[in-house]
Structure 1
Amino acid sequence: MSSNNLLVITNNYPNEDDSYVGGIFVKEQINYLKHYFKNIYVISPVAYGIDKFRKTTYKNYKYDNVEVFYPKYFNIPLFYFCFKDSWIYFATKAIIKSIESKNLNFAIIHSHFTWPSGSCSIKIGDKYDVPVIVTEHTSITFQRAVERKEKIFIDTWDKCDAIIRVRKNDISSFESIGISKNKVFPIPNGFDSSIFYNDNTLECRKKLGLPLDKKILLYVGNLYDEAKGHKYLIEAMNDVVKYRDDVFCVIVGNGKLKNVIQDQIMDFKLENYVKLVGGKSHDEIPLWMNSCDIFVLPSLNEGNPTVMFECLGCGKPFVGTKVGGVPEVIISDEYGLLVNPGNSRELANKILSALGKDWDSNVITNYAYNFRWENISKQIITVYEKAGYVH
């Protein structure tokens, strides 16, 4: 195929109004990549019934020069454990059906996540004779694939034309399984500086009805996975309030752990210090970011968390754990403080240190400039070119 069009294949992609935010970082990246292409086609296959589980509706839509398609395909959980080839077969078939029914032409494929999007992309790249780039975002899944030498992952990395990894320290892991470091390009995630920027803290708090006389900590993320470390944040808050009574922690997010977290808050009698405010749409998050004094992410593992870049873009210091690509970004205590994962006492001490520190928001936002999607997208285009894409 020959055209100035990009095909993006991704495990997850937000709906038209961003009320479902799965894969929002892919959409934000595309909002800057779209300036380099005539058209961008996004295909995000969805298994029958998954819309009910995710409580969303998948409808194809178009904005600017970007078209989004959600082809349905047959899938069952058993495929993940025993029949991954069947998963790839049905998902790839659905993608090809979309390509051919819509008569899509493209010069290059960029897939997000090795499994299953990358595996599907290899077959589609072969069929249409175009280069394939795979961005690997995961943490535990990636580590497990390397340790177990999982064939489906290694084959995908071996056959694709270039790999974008969101943290540079993993290049040696690729080499350990026979993947040349010359085809691996470390590029972090980024943030949209037109949305996430330093705004007036007091005014934002007034809009949200948050306390004006408190030091506010903020967590933003899902409440589905214990790996996000919510447990340790609540435990840390139980220690923090022993030393300061002017602290208020806001947790933004929804998920199955909500009741578990609320019970933990009540067990520690922290109702006056920690509040679950539920999930918020992506365009509301900058308001919450700018309302806080400190952003906290106590994850047990991460790839390269987008919220880290977003909080820095708002001039807020980041208190988090030494996991994934985080230590590659928080390289100075001018930008934030890091702790070992799963250590609530250490987390409490760092929160207390952060609350007592005089942070320079201008230093933080100037540093965040490096991670604006404008800059990240230029690096991605360079990878496309090295993989064989010709403008």
Structure 2
Amino acid sequence: MQGEQSKGKKKRHVICMTSDFFYPNTGGVEEHIFNLSQCLIKRGHKVIVVTHSYGKRVGIRYLTAGLKVYYLPITVMYNQCALPTMICNIPLVRYVLIRECVEIVHAHSAFSVMGHEICIIGKLMGLKTVFTDHSLFGFADMSAVLTNKFLQICLSDCDHCICVSHTGKENTVLRAKVKAHKVSVIPNAVDAYSFTPDPSKRDPNVVTIVIVSRLVYRKGVDLMAAVIADMCPRYPNLRFIVGGDGPKMWLLQEIREKGFQHCVALLGSLPHSEVRDVLVKGDIFLNTSLTEAYCMAIVEAASCGLKVVSTKVGGIPEVLPENMIYLTEPNVSSLVAGIENAMKDLKEGKILCPYECNRKVRKMYNWLDISRRTEIVYDKISLNKNKTLGLQLRSYLSSGVWPFLLVISLMYLLLQLTERIHKRKHIDIARDLKL
């Protein structure tokens, strides 16, 4: 009888979500961390978030549902990422992990220096570690080679990895040399109750194409500009609404100044709370990404009832069923043909009802299901036995970068020195007194 009760009782985990990317910064990784944390809290777990400072936002803040966020006083080096010192932040990170009684460190994004650094520190402290990869990388250019090798080193001793698509899993297994059985596929999700359709906001006299994206090379802004320049002269009733900002904004501004001011609206950077209000004005959503592990934007657009036209790159073909998306090759002629097919189906009424699209997305992707699947990963790795320092060093040696063993050894020695100076029991007292 007692065995059955203990078997049915759900284990409560204390989780530290960590990444360089979090609120007030906006993006897919930030939304993923926030929503996953909220659902895990609802399921009875304790969750904290550790990130670096954002301007004057330093110290501890509390968000919805009591989500505790540590904005550590760590300087940003480039593109919202901290400097990869590996050793300078050890005392501070150790203090936070002990103070909050963390059991599992969950890092997000291959670009996040803080995520990898705190994962390694947590592993040396005997904690369990999970890493979620949100991106795809190539194998040829120098930046990809360096990133892949760094990722391979950092994931050498990670307990488990999560990828957001099956294509992403294959990519991570190949470039980071992670064993396939240690990688799970858990997709992103969308709050379909927030991204609801509203056909009354559409203009019936024109066909409106909405684009919401960061205007960077990876998002195919060059293709986007070429498609706009090709279609606007041929279709007078076509309108483009572009939300987002980035270094490639000048390209769209140039296109707009060539006599297309009446049919191209550039909204600039949008808060995530305003994205739905822009999406519901459109009939078609256009995504021109050149690489994508999982595109959150097309799911949000489909939830709002838009017909999606997208390049079939990375994990995008896995995301939506065929009757909700037009997949094209990443070139101008194919994208134009996809948009024309979508316009033809709109005219003939061969499309799903917007509210039916919302119901489908609600069933396919919801955060409670994602949190339940992530919880299974936490339960699984909590049974893993801790490795000795020698076995951990052997894991890092498998990456082939033997000088990194000196870095790990130095980190371990600094942790031992910090333990001598600031003993663990003193931190527990400070936590109990809420200091």
Tell whether the structures are fold-level matches, with TM greater than 0.5. yes
Could you list the runs of 4 or more consecutive aligned residues of structure 1 that deviate by over 6 angstroms after TM superposition? 141-146
| 2:311 matched residue in structure 1 | 321
Identity within the alignment, %: 19
Structure 2 stretches of 5 or more lacking a match? Answer: 1-10, 385-435
| 1:37 matched residue in structure 2 | 44
| 2:109 matched residue in structure 1 | 113
Cα separation, 2, equivalents of 1:163 and 1:40: 19
| 1:251 matched residue in structure 2 | 242
Q: How do 1:167-246 and structure 2 match up within 5 A?
A: 167-176=165-174, 178-198=177-197, 200-202=198-200, 204=201, 211-223=203-215, 225-246=216-237
> What's the C-alpha RMSD, in Å, of the aligned pairs?
2.9
Are 2:359 and 1:366 equivalent residues in the alignment?
Answer: yes
Helix, strand or coil at the partner of 1:299: coil
| 1:7 matched residue in structure 2 | 16
Cα separation, 2, equivalents of 1:233 and 1:276: 13
Q: CA deviation at 1:237?
A: 2.1
Asked if the contact 2:165/2:293 (under 8 Å) is kept, the reply is yes
Cα separation, 1, equivalents of 2:217 and 2:257: 18
Are 2:285 and 1:295 equivalent residues in the alignment?
Answer: yes
Cα separation, 2, equivalents of 1:317 and 1:94: 48
Asked if the contact 1:3/1:107 (under 8 Å) is kept, the reply is no
Whichever residue aligns with residue 68 of structure 1, its letter is: V
Cα separation, 2, equivalents of 1:222 and 1:94: 33
Whichever residue aligns with residue 62 of structure 1, its letter is: Y
Cα separation, 2, equivalents of 1:328 and 1:255: 27
Q: Deviations over 1:157-211 (max 9, x none)?
A: 221111001121243444446421111001111111231122x222x35xxxxx4
| 1:71 matched residue in structure 2 | 72
1:339 and 1:201, CA in 2 relative to 1: closer, same or farther beyond 3 A? same
Helix, strand or coil at the partner of 1:327: helix
Helix, strand or coil at the partner of 1:70: strand
| 1:335 matched residue in structure 2 | 324
| 2:390 matched residue in structure 1 | none
| 1:383 matched residue in structure 2 | 377
Cα separation, 1, equivalents of 2:264 and 2:147: 43
1:140 and 1:169, CA in 2 relative to 1: closer, same or farther beyond 3 A? closer
Asked if the contact 1:237/1:348 (under 8 Å) is kept, the reply is no
Cα separation, 1, equivalents of 2:12 and 2:209: 48
Q: CA deviation at 1:244?
A: 2.3
1:192 and 1:327, CA in 2 relative to 1: closer, same or farther beyond 3 A? same
Asked if the contact 1:107/1:389 (under 8 Å) is kept, the reply is no
Question: Number of paired residues?
Answer: 361
Cα separation, 1, equivalents of 2:246 and 2:57: 18
| Equivalent residue for 1:350, pick from 338, 341, 344 | 338
Asked if the contact 2:213/2:244 (under 8 Å) is kept, the reply is yes
Q: Deviations over 1:125-147 (max 9, x none)?
A: 22442211100112237887886
1:90 and 1:305, CA in 2 relative to 1: closer, same or farther beyond 3 A? farther
Asked if the contact 1:314/1:365 (under 8 Å) is kept, the reply is yes
Cα separation, 2, equivalents of 1:152 and 1:21: 25
Structure 1 stretches of 5 or more lacking a match? Answer: 206-210
